[in-house]
Amino acid sequence: MSGKSAANSAADTSWESDGPRTHRVAVGAYIFREGRVLLVKRMNPPYTFAPPGGRLNVGEDPETGLRREVREETGLEIELLGLAHYWYGSMDGAKPELLCMNFLAESAEEDVRLSDEHSASVWASRADIESGTIQTLDEKGYGYRPEDILLAFDLYLQRQGVAR
């Protein structure tokens, strides 16, 4: 006997596996308000400023998971505008790798109520990112690349019909 009942084996599909997963899935939100993007400072590695977000729960779709993560981490409600970019890789060789989908969003609210996962928040301008005054990468290069945050600014302005 294989240990599976006939009912269970009838429900099996070729794409499901009890083996190791190929990657972890996370989401992040570039939340814009009045020409600035919200960044929160992490209390865990890499201890830098990043867009709010986190890992999806089992069975959770990316948009629902992102709204939940933003609410938990900032207390904000957001309007999702679309996918900005994705990132796939590993920090310090951690397995499985991480697939992170980053979305553009807006919030009518300004007051951030941080969770215990973060120590600070800032509504950053494009100039703040370009000047490097807000640390988004650690000394090993982990975190959010400034060029990705600047890309989010460009994509957001394009959606608004504003030429840079």
- Per-residue pLDDT of 116-140, as tens digits, reads 999 999 999 999 999 999 999 999 8
Residue 74: count other Cβ atoms within 10 Å of its Cβ.
23
Q: Does residue 150 register a pLDDT over 80? A: yes
pLDDT digits (tens, 9 = 90+) for 22-36: 678 999 999 999 999
pLDDT of residue 5: 37
| Tokens encoding 82 | 């679309």
pLDDT digits (tens, 9 = 90+) for 67-103: 999 999 999 999 999 999 999 988 667 778 889 999 9
DSSP 3-state percent helix, strand, coil across the chain (nearest 5):
25, 30, 45
Could you give the percent of the chain with pLDDT greater than 70? 84
Q: Does residue 15 register a pLDDT over 70? A: no
The H or E element spanning position 36 is: strand 36-42
CATH class of this structure's domain 20-159? alpha beta
| Cα(154)–Cα(149) distance, integer angstroms | 9
CB 143 within 8 A of CB 46: yes
pTM of the prediction?
Answer: 0.84
pLDDT of residue 2: 38
Q: Please choose, from the candidates 164, 152, 163, 162, the residue with its C-alpha nearest in 3D space to the C-alpha of residue 81.
A: 152
Question: How is the chain split into domains, by residue range?
Answer: 20-159
pLDDT of residue 94: 74
pLDDT of residue 16: 55
Q: Please choose, from the candidates 140, 30, 136, the residue with its C-alpha nearest in 3D space to the C-alpha of residue 85.
A: 30
| Cα(104)–Cα(151) distance, integer angstroms | 11
Find the range with the poorest average confidence among 21-30, 46-55, 58-67, 98-107: 21-30
CB 28 within 8 A of CB 52: yes
User: In the chain, how many H helices and how many E strands?
Assistant: 4, 7
pLDDT of residue 162: 83
pLDDT of residue 19: 63
CA distances from 1 to 4, 12, 17 (A): 8, 16, 19
pLDDT of residue 8: 40
pLDDT of residue 18: 60
| Cα(164)–Cα(155) distance, integer angstroms | 10
